[in-house]
Structure 1
């Protein structure tokens, strides 16, 4: 069957008829992070489509591309919903040496399970928790680091995701703020985010091509000028040109 549920399972490599439980989500998030890259290549090439279920499915699961948060988490949101999870989407503001000034351009998922609400995110580049993070402040530890959510009311929301990436951070740092009470009513709202990301001069994703994904031992990040690998806590960086960019895209991202 050529539906989103079957295509998502095929892309990340899980069986087509297995019943998905909450305990299975760690594996789902880890496989998704290793399989589907975070990338802005369609933004850079101006190959854009409206954000809706069909277009996101075609891009991420039929053409086997990656995407930014509003595409990756939309695909995951529909997949979780089709597997009977209680999910909604929220918008957030990224913190990067200060709160970003282009608005609520991050998209994440809230999941309710047995009276507890969790943050689920597969669209935060190399900063992925790889596990559901409860909104009660409990620290979650994955192979990518430590993650927790602090309840704090700011101009940007009522909760803040904090993280301490393995091999990279000695102290807790802020990831993004979000408002747990304001849900995305329809994915058509996310077209506003795509427009901001594409057109705003302060957008970090409309300057240079970027593609990254997690690996079994770290992560890889490719831009038009460099290729960076983290492997078991050790970083190597190669300066590249356009020819090498294409070679690495084929070798590591099958594109």
Structure 2
């Protein structure tokens, strides 16, 4: 078993001997969402490094940090490949549901496409609190998980030929767009994501270079930590606590292991 495969299994708490089949991906995705946080601390601390397999292993699996979409989905892509899956990476454009428009900073989201028995599925471990937690078929058929309902609809536009839509549990009553992506432009070299990392770190409209953000799913909801607040969603009820820097450091270690 290769180093990445072994370390990833250890990080998310699954057996080193478990055979990872397509049918077990639901469980693997849930364990990943619970154990590896979505976070931007390296961006905020200006400690970024090149996006490559070795650096991702060190950051996420050895040092047990989290990451943003281009890091989390890249490491999961490598894990899928190591376990025999037919997988590729794709870039997407995030949709701003408040302003009802796609992001102006470009294709800065990264997700995964997996082909199984001649059917293609979208997989995403790097979309913050919006994770499907299941492979989502690109046929438009919805799936339901502990985090809500998700579907992928076809629709050619300048932003891509498919879009992920979602109704988050306890939060949404109507379908909303998550992001559009282009299934025709498959990526197998993660070095392309250095461009995304530069945009995320430097662009004035980037949502991830303004303040620390750390979030992960739990068995009952999710946790979100910033430098000024700590929010817990538990069975649809949210509680928000205002915090200072000392409390931030304490909660970062206690709830996220960082």
TM, length-normalised to structure 2: 0.98
1:183 pairs with 178, 181, 186, which one? Answer: 186
What corresponds to 1:165 in structure 2?
A: 168
Structure 1 residue runs without a partner (length 5+)? none
SS in 2 for 1:180: coil
Distance 1:173 1:5 in 2: 35
Q: What CA deviation, in whole Å up to 9, does each residue of 1:131-169 have, x standing for no partner?
A: 000000000000000000010011100000000000000
SS in 1 for 2:18: coil
1:112 correspondence with 2:111: no
Distance 1:238 1:76 in 2: 32
Report how far residue 185 of structure 1 moved. Answer: 3.9
SS in 1 for 2:162: strand
Structure 2 residue runs without a partner (length 5+)? none
Report how far residue 8 of structure 1 moved. Answer: 0.2
Report how far residue 231 of structure 1 moved. Answer: 0.1
Distance 1:140 1:32 in 2: 18
What corresponds to 1:246 in structure 2?
A: 249
1:174 pairs with 174, 177, 183, which one? Answer: 177
Distance 2:6 2:188 in 1: 25
SS in 1 for 2:152: strand
What corresponds to 1:225 in structure 2?
A: 228
Aligned runs of 1:179-218 on 2, under 5 Å?
Answer: 179-218=182-221
SS in 2 for 1:182: coil
SS in 2 for 1:220: strand
Report how far residue 210 of structure 1 moved. Answer: 0.3
What corresponds to 1:139 in structure 2?
A: 142
TM, length-normalised to structure 1: 0.99
Q: What CA deviation, in whole Å up to 9, does each residue of 1:97-129 have, x standing for no partner?
A: 321000100000000000100000000000000
SS in 2 for 1:34: helix
Distance 1:247 1:57 in 2: 25
1:151 pairs with 144, 149, 154, which one? Answer: 154
RMSD of the TM alignment (CA)? 0.8
What corresponds to 1:76 in structure 2?
A: 76
What corresponds to 1:28 in structure 2?
A: 28
**Number of residues paired by the alignment?**
255
1:125 pairs with 124, 128, 148, which one? Answer: 128
Aligned runs of 1:4-83 on 2, under 5 Å?
Answer: 4-83=4-83
